[in-house]
């Protein structure tokens, strides 16, 4: 049985968390509501990328966990390289106590608010990344995440 706790600014991570909720889950709650949760076999923790790390509320939550089997999943608007995602995941994992066991990790690109597209119009490479991010998370991302969680169980 899994439990899902997530933090989402634009809805990308919440969408992925809701997709995971179709699996056998005891709960799917935002990090703000993650209090006194029942024990689960695997705690799936979703985050959005904030300057190469998770946001402050998720950092705080991660630091409180003890003796949990954890699966980390996240979304990031910029980049989609394996190396970039690994750096983010390493930063996020650093907020976990050593008593926890990370059973798996997963990341994908996530769409960014259209309001910030204008900032990238003078940089064709950044604009291309922005437009590519609009396609994520998609059904392929959801399938990949669900497969990864199943493998971690």
Q: So what's the pLDDT on residue 79?
A: 72
- For the chain, helix, strand, coil in percent to 5 are 40, 25, 35
Which among 151, 5, 2, 153 has a CA at the least distance from the CA of 73?
Answer: 5
pLDDT at position 106, please?
Answer: 98
Residue 95's pLDDT is 99
List the CATH number of the domain containing 81.
3.40.50.360
Range of the domain at 128: 2-152
At a CB cut-off of 8 Å and minimum separation 6, what does 8 contact?
14, 15, 17, 30, 46, 48
pLDDT band at residue 126 under the 50/70/90 scheme = confident
**Crossing angle of the two packed helices 139-152 and 12-20, in degrees rounded to 10:** 50
User: How many domains in the chain?
Assistant: 1
- What is the pLDDT at residue 24? 82
Contact call for residues 57 and 31 (beta carbons, < 8 A): yes
- Please check whether residue 78 is in contact with residue 72, taking contact to mean a CB–CB distance below 8 angstroms: no
Q: Give the pair of three-digit tokens for residue 14.
A: 């919440």
Mean pLDDT of 87-96: 98
Q: What is the mean pLDDT of residues 35-55?
A: 96
When pLDDT is averaged across residues 6-12 and rounded to a whole number, the result is 96
């Amino acid at each position: 049985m899994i439990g899902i706790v997530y933090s989402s600014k634009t809805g990308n991570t919440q969408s992925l968390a809701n997709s995971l909720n179709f699996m056998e889950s005891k709960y799917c709650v935002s990090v703000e509501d993650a209090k006194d949760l029942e024990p689960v076999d695997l705690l799936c923790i979703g985050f959005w990328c904030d300057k190469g790390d998770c946001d402050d509320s998720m950092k705080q939550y991660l630091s409180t966990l003890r003796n949990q089997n954890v699966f980390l999943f996240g979304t990031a608007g910029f980049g989609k390289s394996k190396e970039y995602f690994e750096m983010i995941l390493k930063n996020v994992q650093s907020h976990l106590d050593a008593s926890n066991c990370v059973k798996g990790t997963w990341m994908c690109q996530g769409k960014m608010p259209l309001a910030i597209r204008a900032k990238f119009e003078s940089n064709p490479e950044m604009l291309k990344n922005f437009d590519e991010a609009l396609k994520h998370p998609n059904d392929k991302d959801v399938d990949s995440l669900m497969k990864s969680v199943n493998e971690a169980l």
